Amino acid sequence: MSLLSHLKSLRFLCHRAVNTFLLRIVTTMTLAAGVLKKVAPWLAASLETVPQHRTLCPIHLLLAVILLVITTTVCLALRRRAVYLVNYACFRPSSNLRLTKATFLEHAHLSPLFDDSTVNFIATILERSGMSDQTCAPPVHHYIEPYCRLDEARAEGELVVFSVIDDLMAKTRINSDAIGALITNCSAFSPVPSMADMIVNRYKLRGDLRVINLSGMACSAAVTSVGLASNMLQVMPWGSHVLVVSTETIGPSYYAGNKRSMQLVNILFRIGGAAKLLSTSKSKARFHLGHFTRTITAANNAAYRCVYQEEDDKGNLGIALSKDLMDVARDALKDNIMTTGPLVLPASELLKFLFFYVAKKVLRWRKIRPYIPNFCVAFEHFCIHVGGPAVIASVQRGLNLSDKHVEASKMTLHRFGNQSTSSVWYELSYIEAKGRMKKGDRVWMIGFGAGYECNTVGWVCIQPSSRMDGPWASCIHRYPVDVSKSG
């Protein structure tokens, strides 16, 4: 074994030892003894002037100091650690992956897979999609009859995942040995070995790495991964780093049938991905994690089946989006708001909400409208999952947001399409590219996904980006654009 390997093993053992209970007790006792040694002469001199306390033994003082130190240690240990976003990176597709709406529609016309009614449906949705001709799709989608084998799917995953990790490593300048945990999420593509193993193999990550590979969670998984990373960091050594990689390999999800509810995935989804580095160390961090709230409604059958992978009557596999999707999403968002509100809203907004709730539900004043809390007093920026124009508009109405607040969502949909789980990170990048992020600004990410889930996370900006190198670098000067005519 080389000297470097010995040093790595020794460092690992030291990390483990520092976090053992035995060492904490020894440290506490040593500290208590040191404190007692320092204060004992002063206490003895003081006690001589107080006759009624002469029966106080030194052992009593020792026990009191030990109890105080142990109590302080336990309180500090039980306190939840602050979690920080060191930095993030989004996939920047090359121009040769661009798939215009005209090309997409022409391929549908030429394809023997689709009948005329399906082609007309595709044309209608494309017109209302809110997407531009700059969106990009994986190479397999550029064929008239896309057929994605395992090799093509793996190549698409590697293209996105390796690119964003390379960008993130360049930004943070972190050594791969400093990464203590890896979380990946990709819904429809679950190869063997896993996507997480693919990353470990490429970057030669540590052998004791904690690995979690999420699948089947669709568009909310990136936000879920942040909450999961935060929980993992609570039990890892202080200063540890967790790498979170979010993408959706859409090649295997291509639907080759004529069922309209299953065609929406083909039309709206585009290639994309994001990598994030989280840590309990504030050093070089750009955002502080405020809150994380997860709402899952899978116990309800309608919610469970509103985003559902299945086969049509001809055996074509695809993902069906139910007509109840908007209602399910609205209810999930309401439930999430009920949990998130008390965590982020000021007392004045909570009192207003309570008054209107009591008036409507308890006093049964039917004419009074439900009060919508003003979340603009809690957040300066909003990143809403770009499920489509209807999803963005619904959340805008539900939260009473201005057009400025949803600009990042609409522009991300226009430029990049629906990149599933990573879309909220492109929106955050848009806000920064426009120079709107200031130190102390608060960001609310809202993700929706299969299950059905509504997950939200709040960030507080510590250090705005000082350079323009994200996915918007080459086109931010053209935005915002008017998308009203296209939906």
Q: What is the pLDDT of residue 360?
A: 65
Residues of the chain with CATH 3.40.47.10: 84-478
Confidence of residue 76 (pLDDT cuts 50, 70, 90): low
Tell me the whole-structure pTM to 2 decimals: 0.84
What are the tokens at 293?
Answer: 């709230």
Could you please report the per-residue DSSP string of 317-335?
Answer: EEEEE-TTHHHHHHHHHHH
Q: Tell me the residue length of the chain.
A: 487
3-state secondary structure of 138: coil
Q: What is the pLDDT of residues 375-390, one digit of tens each?
A: 999 999 999 999 899 9
Query: Has residue 12 got a pLDDT over 70?
Result: no
Mean pLDDT of 188-193: 90
Q: What is the pLDDT of residues 441-483, one digit of tens each?
A: 999 999 999 989 999 999 999 999 877 788 999 999 999 998 8
φ, ψ (nearest 5 deg) of residue 322: -70, 155
Q: What is the pLDDT of residue 347?
A: 85
| % of the chain surpassing 90 pLDDT | 69
Please name every residue paired with 307 in a beta bridge, in sequence order, or none if there are none.
321
Q: What is the pLDDT of residues 84-138, one digit of tens each?
A: 999 999 999 999 999 999 999 999 999 999 999 999 999 999 999 999 999 999 9
Q: What is the pLDDT of residue 469?
A: 80
Query: Has residue 246 got a pLDDT over 50?
Result: yes
Would you say 342 and 310 are in contact if contact means Cβ atoms under 8 Å apart? no
Average of per-residue pLDDT values in the chain? 86
Q: What is the pLDDT of residue 484?
A: 75
Instruction: For the chain, count helices (H), then strands (E).
Output: 15, 11
Look up the CATH number of domain 84-478. 3.40.47.10
CA angle 451, 452, 457 (to 5 degrees): 105
Confidence of residue 17 (pLDDT cuts 50, 70, 90): very low
The letter for the amino acid at 16 is R
